[in-house]
Amino acid sequence: MRFLITGTAGFIGFHLAKRLLADGHEVQGIDALTPYYDVELKKRRHAILAGSNRFTAHVAHLEDGELIAEIHGAAKPDVIVHLAAQAGVRYSLENPEAYVRSNVDGTFNLLEIMRPSPPKHFIFASTSSVYGANRVMPFRENDRADHPLTLYAATKKAGELMAHSYAHLFNIPTTALRFFTVYGPWGRPDMALFKFVDAILKNRPIDIYGEGRMSRDFTYVDDLVEAIVRLVPVVPERGAASDAIDSLSPAAPFRVVNAGGGAPVELTRFVEAIEQKLGRIAEKNFLPMQPGDVTDTFASADLLQQLTGYKPATPVEEGVGKFVDWYRDYFGV
């Protein structure tokens, strides 16, 4: 199949493209190589993908609608996976405009491009952050997600809503996939795992927010990729949901699916897994919650398992171990 993936120099986009190429597919990748974090890391990811003659990289901003339309027209993709976004909850407090440009304007441009020739399946990367102030656990796709706590979450919810309207108006089969704390090798330097490992190996203290009483439904990146691959042929069709847990829209070929394993891990256990792998005890600064943070995330994996027969299950000790091995190799530590 022919895939168009936005964000292929990013953490998740890189892993997905690598898997699809290994499976024999063609991948056209779009990435702006923005300096939100180390551009060299992004270039290294793209360089690995370029080892396949079935991968083509395009350096472009999604905000440049004309250029994206040209790339799309030449690619003629069967499936579009939209992963490119301005990520990070905390950075949205510093540079909110970047989130509107990338996550709202960029997504709008992509939707406009699909109007005349919809793909067989459009998969949109959303986030567990859209559940916001919802305190009902576990988070289910049919729960209300109307109270975002950060602009990042609000822009991702806006993307879901825009995608739903385009699915309804122009018959674009769409799955909005809500990611839950994805981690693993080649991860972003602004993510907790990367920062913790880097600090511990450099004998610096680590900051643990929420006094260490938070928990997250951590999802190992290979598990997320497997979920996406399995969802590609599960194309939403206009019509009634199959049962009470199905989030299929009554008005569009549009469905929301959680991408999480439904097994929250306390932050203290996550840190212990890092310490055990490194053979070092971290010096810890326990700090209050940061603005926009939530105490817990907890995915219901029922719908994902119903649709694909699969749910993420890699233990954090195993996933953390693989990240540390990658970090040591990449930085020569």
- % of the chain beyond a pLDDT of 70: 100
Strands 265-266 and 215-216, how do they pair? antiparallel
Per residue in 79-95, pLDDT (tens digit) is 999 999 998 877 888 89
> Choosing from 131, 152, 183, 220, which is the catalytic residue?
152
Please answer whether residues 37 and 66 qualify as being in contact, where contact means their C-beta atoms are separated by less than 8 angstroms.
no
In terms of residues, how long is the chain? 333
The residue among 23, 4, 21, 19 whose CA lies nearest residue 73 is 4
Check whether 240 has a pLDDT greater than 80.
no
Q: 77 vs 101, 114, 160, 213, CA distance in Å?
A: 24, 10, 21, 45
Mean pLDDT of 132-146: 94
Dump pLDDT digits (tens) for 309-331.
999 999 999 999 999 999 999 99
CA distance 260 to 176: 13
Domains of the chain: 2-183+218-259 (3.40.50.720), 192-215+264-297+315-331 (3.90.25.10)
C-alpha closest to that of 247 among 174, 147, 180: 174
243 confidence band (pLDDT: 50, 70, 90): confident
DSSP string across 136-147: -SSB-TTS----
pLDDT at 70: 97
User: Catalytic annotation on 152?
Assistant: yes
Instruction: Please tell me the predicted confidence (pLDDT) of residue 327.
Output: 98
Q: H or E segment at 300?
A: none
How far apart CA 59 and CA 47 sit, in angstroms, is: 13
pLDDT given for residue 10 in this prediction: 98
Token couple for 141: 């796709």
Angle at 244 between CA 240 and CA 250, to 5 degrees: 25
Q: Determine what percent of the chain is predicted with pLDDT higher than 90.
A: 92
Per-residue pLDDT tens over the stretch 57-77:
999 999 999 999 999 999 999
Inform me whether the pLDDT recorded for 264 exceeds 80.
Answer: yes
Whole-number pLDDT of residue 14: 98
Three-class secondary structure of residue 249 per DSSP: coil
What pLDDT is stored for residue 120 in this prediction? 98
